[in-house]
Amino acid sequence: MIFEIACPLPLHKTFDYKPPAGFSETDPEHLIGRRVRIPFGPKQLLGLITGVKDTSFSPAEKLKTVLEVIDADPLLSPESMELGRWLSDNTLCSLGEALFALFPPGRENPSPLKDPSTASFHDELHAIPLGDAPALTNDQTDAARRIHEAIYTHTSATFLLHGVAAAGKTEVYLSAIKDALAQGKSALYLVPEIGLSHQAYEVLKARFGEKVIALWHSDMPEKRRREEWWRIKRGDVSIVVGPRSAALVPLPHVGVFVLDEEHDTSYKEDRKPRFHAREVVSARARQSNGVVVLGSATPSMESFFAAKQGYMILVELKERAIPAATPQLTLVDVSQEKKRGALSARLEQAMGDRLKLHEQSILFLNKRGFHRFLRCPSCSWVAQCPQCTIALVQHKTEDVVEEIAAVESGKTKKGRKKRRSGLWCHYCSYTLTAPAACPQCGNKKLYSGGYGTQRVAEEVQQKYPWARVLRWDRDSVSKQGAHERIYKQFSDGEGDILVGTQMVAQGFNFPKATLVGVIDADVPLYVPDFRAAEKTFQLITQVAGRAGRALVTGEVIIQTRHSDHYALKHAAALDYAGFSDEELKMRESLNYPPFSHLIEVVSSSKNPRKAEEEITRITRWIEERPNPTPIGILGPKVARRTWTGGKTKFVILLKVPREIHAVFLAQLKDYLAVHTFSFMVDVDPETLH
């Protein structure tokens, strides 16, 4: 008997090993999915048994022996093994990297808390204390009925729930979950951000009871996540809620998969395996014959196009489910007024009015930090990251806590952390003390420019010193529990003004927030990305949906310097149909998704010549492939930034026709298996290098 073993290495192959001496188990079904400890070169590694066979291409005397079979039972079920293979094939990571991503936290031996056979969520269904559901609108009733039919007829289908802000998509989700539970199945509820998962958890708990729900996200302590993983695997819970990482949890018998705010780029993982949660739940639904419900007020172009082509079922919610008028949106062209600071006169006046009425305001700016750059006005020197060659962002004291002071001054002990202002690279986290003078010409009058959330929050506090100002961005939620704390503070009325990045643009319900100000709506348009217009439209529409969700009509003020851009004009009119028509025409003319698939291939090395040779070789292989449908190749080019450690990146971007995408993925995986040079491959990337 020979074990096929996958290791968490970027090697597209499995390895053959002999079982430990005296090992007597022979049932492949009870062996596949169990972890082993193996000798691998001079080291020991953890591996996973992926197959059992009688012979090997390697001579028996050359096969090494497994040191230890760690698990008494398979850690991964056959369904999880199948999902791991799908992840490997569709994200082009190795099988070992994909399978190890499905493991519970903790690398060694995360044992279950009790016998896996002692509990099942099916035993608890009769005890679920269903909360009262509100009366549904006509649109909600129709959507719930169509999803109900698919669940009860065990028809695997994908629904795209396109509803305006406050149309009540959540009630449709809850109806679908109730149907799944009534069928003896479970439900997976995904949200874009950790902060949203707590809000969703509270809604689900109120409707279905706390006992049958598990919350899952990376901000939880490792021990608690490990415990929750085993509860989920055993079937002790019937509903799991969380961000994209929850798409991989081993929840059995899933009848409905909900993906709220499906357009959000946070659903794309940026580390191996580089999956998109939307694709993962679709694969799992096909596996379990389940139903997928995608919801958004601004669906992604990929999902909307798929619905137009008949691959998804489009269900529209056109009426608001709560008695509130559509918010009033106004474009303010800040290039036409002389303003000092981040706020236009119109926005400043509106905020003052809301404060007098004891109503809340939200200010949205998708840039964190204090100043966006530090420049010398004399010689035009700009503070840049030496590793990424992009401008460093200036942060004030509470955001930058580094050891650089000890290293630079020599006055403090090595290793002591000192709070101070500094410059920060948002790509690689390189930090630098702000220089007192220009390092090129010695000029001591350096100019700091641009706005980040930290500077806006400080400016607002200075203008309205009596106001309670909260900030919600990646810097302010670095500590465990910060997401939940800020959300609760603002929703409980303990804050008057919330300043934040796209975290505040998610599907939060703040009934007392009646004003939303978009500080610089043009920020996403400046990014060299074919999705720039789509992301701009989505962000503005989503953040506008945070205004006026109760009885008071909301107001949205959008500050811009490009008021004639089609994304901004359609966003101000809340016109998704008009925007999607223009955007899809542009995408089709340039053969961008959804009319093709993109694959980004990056070669990196400390030796630039080596990296360039490898990217040239793979480019030549793609060009010489015999194929009736050509693949578009952009590049190769040197990436704007390089990895920490001095590695130079060379990038190509492939436009793969939809009809040959699956075949080409398999061919590219075979190429990567033969060529051992380490490439970074991202299938359908959300952000391009």
The CATH number that applies at residue 332 is: 3.40.50.300
Report if residue 110 sits inside a domain: no
For the chain (689 residues), the mean pLDDT of every run of 10, in chain order, is 95 94 88 96 94 91 93 94 97 96 72 38 39 83 96 94 87 96 96 87 94 93 92 96 97 97 94 96 96 96 96 92 76 81 90 92 82 77 74 64 36 39 71 85 80 86 93 77 82 91 73 88 80 91 75 84 91 94 95 96 90 93 85 82 68 94 94 86 87
Same domain, 132 and 250: yes
Residue numbers of the domain that contains 433 = 373-449
pLDDT in tens, 167-182: 889 999 999 999 999 9
Same domain, 429 and 503: no
Predicted confidence at residue 549, as pLDDT, reads 57
Predicted confidence at residue 112, as pLDDT, reads 45
Number of domains in the chain: 5
Same domain, 462 and 416: no
Same domain, 566 and 629: no
Report if residue 492 sits inside a domain: yes
b/e map 649-668, b = 16+ CB within 10 Å: bbbbbbbbbeebbeebbeeb
Report if residue 248 sits inside a domain: yes
Domain-terminating residue out of 420, 449, 478: 449
Q: Which of 127, 136, 193, 197 is nearest to 169 (CA)?
A: 136
Same domain, 140 and 271: yes
Domain-terminating residue out of 412, 433, 449: 449
Structure tokens at 195: 């902060």
Same domain, 289 and 142: yes
Domain-terminating residue out of 72, 100, 128: 100
Report if residue 106 sits inside a domain: no
Same domain, 217 and 285: yes
Report if residue 107 sits inside a domain: no
Scanning 492-574, the segments in alpha helix (DSSP H) are 532-544, 566-572
Report if residue 69 sits inside a domain: yes
> Residues 6 or more apart from 399 whose CB is under 8 A from it?
369, 370, 424, 454, 475
Predicted confidence at residue 271, as pLDDT, reads 92
> Residues 6 or more apart from 479 whose CB is under 8 A from it?
none
Predicted confidence at residue 454, as pLDDT, reads 85
The CATH number that applies at residue 657 is: 3.30.70.600
Phi, psi of 202 (to 5 degrees): -65, -40
Predicted confidence at residue 635, as pLDDT, reads 86
Same domain, 403 and 423: yes
Predicted confidence at residue 379, as pLDDT, reads 84
Predicted confidence at residue 386, as pLDDT, reads 73
Same domain, 357 and 377: no
Give the sheet arrangement for strand 497-500, strand by strand.
328-333, 555-560, 513-518, 360-364, 497-500, 469-472
Same domain, 516 and 655: no
The CATH number that applies at residue 43 is: 3.40.1440.60
Query: Distance from first CA to last CA of the chain, Å, rounded?
Result: 46
Rounded to an integer, what distance in angstroms lies between the CA atom of residue 12 and that of residue 675?
A: 10
Rounded to an integer, what distance in angstroms lies between the CA atom of residue 30 and that of residue 46?
A: 18
Report if residue 105 sits inside a domain: no
Report if residue 322 sits inside a domain: no
Are 654 and 632 contacting, i.e. CB atoms less than 8 angstroms apart? yes
Structure tokens at 181: 């539970």
Same domain, 299 and 333: no
Same domain, 472 and 395: no
